[in-house]
Amino acid sequence: MSDDCLFCRIAAGEIPTDVVARGDDWVAFRDIHPQAPTHVLIVPHRHVASIDDLHADDAPLAGTLIAVAAEVAREEGLAERGYRLVFNVGEGAGQSVHHIHLHLLGGRGFSWPPG
């Protein structure tokens, strides 16, 4: 855990948030600035600043985040209409918190290519 990391503090339960699911190694919570009717962030407890910092042996971590997102999408009723999963990597791509997190977005249509 990084003491100055917002998502580490949320994962540790130090900062209250609207948690939709929690596991031993991750937490899923609603984004405070949603970009869609459903906007959930899935965050590992382990501090990793960016997807760029992952290695092949971190595949179980990335896979868990994606599997959790799929389960939350089903629970939120998004699976039938579809949803989007997004990892922003670096500031140029919109990463504003330097702790990996997967965005689950749904409840509206999305265009391609994204912004």
User: What does the alpha-carbon distance between residue 113 and residue 53 come to, in Å, rounded to a whole number?
Assistant: 26
Q: Which amino acid is at 76?
A: E
Q: Which amino acid is at 14?
A: E
Q: Has 39 been annotated as catalytic?
A: no
User: What does the alpha-carbon distance between residue 20 and residue 16 come to, in Å, rounded to a whole number?
Assistant: 12
37: which DSSP letter?
A: S
Q: Which of 33, 39, 55, 101 is catalytic?
A: 101
Residues with a known catalytic role: 101
